[in-house]
Amino acid sequence: MDQIRHWLYIGSYRDTRNPSYLALKSIQAMLQLAELVEQPGITSLYLPVEDLAPIPFDLLETGISFIR
């Protein structure tokens, strides 16, 4: 998992499946693009996107709003 800001990380699908690691990083919410992985106590939003395909504007807007 890579820290982008003090409040924002980018991680892999594998990271989402590791509750101990998420707790260590104090993750409270996850925007997921690969598939939905729910963890207790963590808010999740899954957006169905395809590799190399354009992301529809409404999905992009939803993701940005969630991050903010």
| Sequence ranges of the domains in the chain | 2-67
Confidence of residue 46 (pLDDT cuts 50, 70, 90): very high
- Residue 24: the pLDDT is 95
pTM of the model: 0.85
Output the DSSP codes for 17-34: T-HHHHHHTT--EEEESS
What the block records as the tokens of 14 is 């594998």
Render pLDDT for 8-26 as a digit per residue (tens, 0 to 9).
Answer: 999 999 999 999 999 999 9
The mean per-residue pLDDT over the stretch 20-42 comes to: 95
- Residue 57: the pLDDT is 95
- Residue 63: the pLDDT is 94
Backbone angles phi, psi at 66, to 5 degrees: -65, -45
- Bridge partners (DSSP) of residue 45 are 31
